Amino acid sequence: MGQDPILTVDNLNVIVTTPYGVTQTVHDVSFKLEAGKVLGLVGESGSGKTMTCMSLLKLLPEKAKVVQGSIKFKNIDLLNVSTEDLRKVRGSEIAMIMQNPMIAFNPVRTIGRHFIETLRTHLPITKRQARKMAVEYLEKTDLPNPENVLKQYPFQLSGGMLQRVMIAITMSLSPSIIIADEPTTALDSTNQLQVLKQLDKLREEYNTCILLVSHDLGVIAQLADEVAVMYGGYIVEKAPVLKLLNHPMHPYTKVLLESRLGLTRRKIKVEKRESVSRPNLINSEKTCPFLERCEDADYTCSSYNLEFKEYEKDHLVRCVKSR
Amino acid sequence: MSWFIFKRLTSLIPILLGISLITFILLHLIPGDPAVAYLRASHIPPTDETVAALRVELGLNKPLYVQYFEWLGKVLQLDLGMSYVSNNSVWEEIVVHFFPTVQLTFASLIFIVVISLPLGMISAIYKGKFVDQFSRILAFVSVSMPTFWLGFLLIYFLSVKLDLFPVLGRGTLAHLVLPSLTLAFAYIGTYMRLLRASMLGNLNEPFVVYARARGLRQRLIVIRHVLKKSLLPVITGLGMSFGNMLSGAVIVETIFAWPGMGQLFVTSILNQDYPMIQGCVLFMGVIFVVCNLLVDLTYSFLDPRIRWEGEK
């Protein structure tokens, strides 16, 4: 606390044009990233997590557009910076770890080429120096036989190995921010733990801040300092990790936590209104996105303007019922 | 890699045997007696005696399998027999006519690559813009325009009216331009659109997003990442077209009086020159197979996934 945030996202709104109409996938999202801290972004598929991440580096697909809000990195306004300046920020200042390592690498290029081209894009070094650096950083991620890994093609490595290669590439440019979009989803549990340890090491050694995106609360609980829960494009609750896990305020957060507890006790809780599908985001009016699935909903909800409520100083909830 | 090549080469043997067998049988299925045809070509009236005598001389009275093995043995020594019409060695005739065709094919290939690949790439990057629209129209024109008509148009405007290129025949480099452009034109549209579609597919792949997230320059992403992967289907197609063109472009060669394989083949059919037809079919078959082999090898060079499949 007290230090200047490295990244400030304020009031971010993203819309997507589909053949069926215009959908808003990110609503009024605001958060800050501080050095050495990990912000967890949690929510189900389609809740707007990936869209939020992608808009930070202007990597949104063609159909999606940021319509409102600001993203400030140090003193750079990322939404209004020139393409060339933005390119320089990508990878070297703000790095990304992709969701599925198996398809993030070009199948017709070796790992070495991927690594070296990244280093040489941002640093004035020769191929040989870049190769040496690559070996060095691959060693740090405990990959066996780094020289050999560089000669391999992506399809010759396992998902876990590729994920560690991606972390090595990320580390090598010592960025101030790492966006890790579901870094463990495509991996089995042993590899998951390893990757999480790597990320933690990174944060400790380089004082990097991490935006950790996951639908898995277990992953978030391991690493995050603060958690933002997303639902239907909104951040519905934001709090330090322990507060959120121990005193969830938003009904959706409660459901999310319950489903996890249910699993650990070996009886899977089936959600009561399973017939209710995901929120229909197209042309919906500004109402609570969780309204239809909420157990506590009543007449007060429909007139709620979706302002954040401050439960405690650092615990924000977007629910009219919370008090 | 060497193992892959070895495997591909050994798999050629049954294919080549198959080609030889089909070529051989084909001729015996054609209506008309080769002996009669020979006599007609030599202007000797085909009476029963002359036909019978010739059948013995040509070995046509022996059982079919004996004929096949005798023929195959000769083929392996590059002895494809004598032409009924000119009495020259078939092999030598083919060699003489093959070189102009090779020349024409390579010149066309250069036109195809130089025109269609850059246009395809640019229209993928500027999808929906003017360049893309223009290339779309060009592609329609290219695939739907009859070759003979295009050939005559080119001759009329560029040779007769503007006197830029010679009208017919073979000789200088200038003689090569119009025939090869005519031959290439039909392929240009296909490969332009093929590369465009292939690149558009790859431009939205996650590996491109990751490349951009790593801050790579746009030019490097397009050329090193997207283009290389997108060329794969184009190479396959080009290899097959290459084989096609090498077996002779009958229409183009006829229009421009180009003394290539296509002309040789058509003339030998019109003359019922059986050994020549047989020789041409066999030769084209082999050329086609070899081209496909070359494509496979290029492919494995470009796409490591195929190379590694082979080594497993």
The gap between the terminal CA atoms of chain B, to the nearest Å, is 11
DSSP letter for A265, please: T
Burial of B12 (0-12, 13-18, 19+ CB in 10 A): middle
Per-residue pLDDT averaged across A103-126, rounded?
92
A157 contact residues in B (CB cutoff 8 A): none
What is the full per-residue pLDDT of chain B (312 aa) written as tens digits?
Answer: 677 788 888 888 898 899 888 888 877 777 777 777 777 777 777 788 888 888 887 777 788 888 888 888 888 888 888 887 787 888 988 988 888 899 899 999 999 999 999 999 999 998 888 999 999 999 999 989 888 888 888 888 888 888 777 777 777 777 888 889 999 998 999 999 999 999 999 988 899 999 999 999 988 999 889 998 898 889 888 888 888 888 768 888 888 888 888 888 888 888 878 888 888 888 888 888 888 888 888 877 777 877 766 554
Comparing CA positions, the residue from A59, A94, A57 lying closest to residue A78 is: A57
- Give one DSSP letter per residue of A210-247, joined into a string: EEEEES-HHHHHHH-SEEEEEETTEEEEEEEHHHHHHS
Q: Are residues B103 and B36 in the same domain?
A: no
**Cα gap B26→B278, rounded to integer Å:** 8
Which amino acid, A251?
P
Contact assessment for residue A154 and residue A105, using Cβ atoms and an 8 Å cutoff: yes
- Determine how many CB atoms are found less than 10 A away from the CB of residue A128: 9
Write the single-letter amino acid at A211: L
> Which H or E run includes B15?
helix B12-29
CB of B240 within 8 A of CB of B292?
yes
Which strand (E) or helix (H) includes residue A76?
Answer: strand A76-77
In which band, very low, low, confident or very high, does the pLDDT at A266 lie, cut at 50, 70 and 90? Answer: very low
Task: Tell if the CB–CB gap between B206 and A98 is shorter than 8 Å.
Answer: yes
For residue A234, pLDDT beyond 60: yes
Task: Provide the phi-psi class of A229: left if phi over 0, else alpha when psi is between -120 and 50, else beta.
Answer: beta
Which of A92, A100, A118 lies nearest to residue B206, judging by beta carbons?
Answer: A100
Whether residue A273 lies inside any domain: the answer is yes
Over residues A290-305, the mean pLDDT reads 76
* Arithmetic mean of pLDDT, A176-183: 90
Give the pLDDT confidence score for residue A278 in this predicted structure.
53
Query: If you measure CA to CA, which chain A residue comes closest to B210?
Result: A104
Helices B147-154 and B173-203 pack at an angle, to 10 degrees, of 130
- pLDDT for position B120: 93
Q: Are residues B37 and B66 located together in one domain of the fold?
A: yes
Please give the distance of CA A108 from its chain centroid, rounded to a whole number.
28
Q: Which helix (H) or strand (E) holds B100?
A: helix B90-125
Per CB-CB distance under 8 Å, the chain A contacts of B216 are 87, 91, 117-118, 121
pTM, full prediction: 0.79
Nearest CA in chain A to B209: A59
Q: Say whether pLDDT at A280 is over 80.
A: no
pLDDT category, A276, cuts 50, 70, 90?
very low
**pLDDT recorded at residue B158:** 84
The residue of chain B nearest to residue A167, with distances taken between CA atoms, is: B214
Mark yes or no for CB contact B215/A153 under 8 Å.
Answer: no
Q: What percent of chain A has pLDDT over 70?
A: 90
Q: Nearest CA to CA, how far is B241 from chain A (Å)?
A: 25
d(CA A149, CA A152): 5
Kindly list the residues of chain B whose beta carbon comes within 8 Å of any beta carbon in chain A: 204-207, 209-217, 220, 224-225, 228-229, 302-305, 308
* pLDDT of res. A2: 52
Cβ neighbors of B42 (< 8 A, separation 6 or more) are B84
Number of domains in chain B: 2
CA atoms within 13 A on the CB side of A214: 25
Closest CA to B226 of B216, B237, B241, B236: B216
Specify if A137 maps to a domain. Answer: no
Nearest residue, CB atoms, B229 vs list A106, A110, A169: A106
Nearest to A234 by CA among A179, A184, A174, A281: A281
User: In the block, which residue shows the tokens 């979706």?
Assistant: A306
Q: Say which of B205, B212, B228 has its CB closest to residue A90.
A: B212
Residue among A57, A87, A106 whose CB faces B217 most closely: A87
Q: How many domains, in total, are found in chain A? A: 1
What band does A279 get if pLDDT is binned at 50, 70 and 90? low
Q: Is residue A271 part of a domain?
A: yes
pLDDT band with cut points at 50, 70 and 90 for residue A285: low
Separation of alpha carbons B247 and B22, rounded Å: 17
Domain range for A247? 7-82+224-316
CA angle A4, A5, A10 (to 5 degrees): 130
B124 shares a domain with B39: no
Strand partners, A180: A97, A212
The verdict on a CB contact (< 8 Å) between A117 and B228 is no
Mutate to test the interface with A, among B202, B214, B220 (most CBs of A within 10 A): B214
Both B12 and B114 in a single domain?
no
Instruction: Note the pLDDT tens digit of each residue in A201-224.
Output: 888 888 899 999 988 888 888 889
How many Cβ atoms sit within 10 Å of the Cβ of residue A125? 14
Judge whether A112 lies within some domain: no
Best probe of the B interface among A58, A103, A117, A177, by most B CBs < 10 A, is A117
- Note whether A107 contacts B217, CB cutoff 8 Å: no
Query: Which chain A residues touch B304 with a CB distance below 8 Å?
Result: 107-108, 110, 153, 155
Enter the DSSP assignment of A297.
-
Q: What is the pLDDT of residue B161?
A: 82
Burial (CB < 10 A; 0-12, 13-18, 19+), residue B226, is: buried
pLDDT in tens, A145-176: 999 999 999 999 988 889 889 989 998 988 99
Domain containing residue B50: 2-89
Q: Do A59 and B206 touch (CB under 8 A)?
A: no
Cβ of A1: how many Cβ atoms within 10 Å? 5
A200 located within any domain: no
CATH no. for residue A285?
3.40.50.300
pLDDT band at A281 (very low <50, low <70, confident <90, very high): low
CA distance A177 to A167: 13
Residue showing tokens 């215009």:
A22
Q: Which residues of B touch A88 (CB under 8 A)?
A: 215
Instruction: Tally A–B CB contacts below 8 A.
Output: 78
Q: Are A196 and A219 in contact (CB under 8 A)?
A: yes
Contact B187, B233 (CB under 8 A): no
**What distance in Å separates residue A197's CA from the closest CA in chain B?**
22
* Cα atoms in the Cβ-side hemisphere of radius 13 Å centred on A168: 30
Which of B205, B215, B303 has the CB atom closest to A91's CB atom?
B215
Is the pLDDT confidence value at A8 over 60? yes
Hey, are the CB atoms on B225 and A92 less than 8 Å from each other?
Answer: no
Please indicate, yes or no, whether residues B290 and B167 belong to a single structural domain of this protein: yes
> Comparing C-alpha atoms, which of B48, B53, B81, B100 is closest to residue B273?
B81
Q: Which residues from A are below 8 Å from B229, CB to CB?
A: 106-108
Chain A residue with Cα closest to B312:
A156
Say what the ipTM of the complex is: 0.86
| Cα–Cα distance, A183 to A96 (Å, whole number) | 10
B187 & B85 share domain: no
Q: Which of B34, B60, B89 is the last residue of a domain?
A: B89
Beta carbons of B305 and A155 less than 8 Å apart: yes
CATH number for the domain including B206? 1.10.3720.10
Residues B83 and B55 in one domain: yes
Q: Where are the beta strands (DSSP E) in A156-299?
A: 177-181, 209-214, 226-231, 234-240
d(CA B58, CA A150): 65
| End-to-end CA gap in chain A | 25
Tokens 């592609």 — which residue? B139
**Residue indicated by tokens 């390119």:** A87
Distance between CA B199 and CA A267 in Å, rounded? 49
Type of residue numbered B108: S
* Cβ–Cβ gap B206/A103 under 8 Å: yes
Residues B259 and B183 placed together within one structural domain of the fold: yes
Chain A residues touching chain B at CB-CB below 8 Å: 57, 59, 61, 87-92, 95-96, 98-100, 103-110, 117-118, 121-122, 153, 155-156, 169
Has residue A73 been placed in a domain?
yes
B45 & B149 share domain: no
Q: What pLDDT score was predicted for residue A312? A: 77
Verify whether the Cβ–Cβ distance B308 to A153 is below 8 Å: yes
Which of the residues B210, B216, B231, B312 would you substitute to probe the A interface, choosing the one with the greatest number of A C-beta atoms within 10 Å? Answer: B210
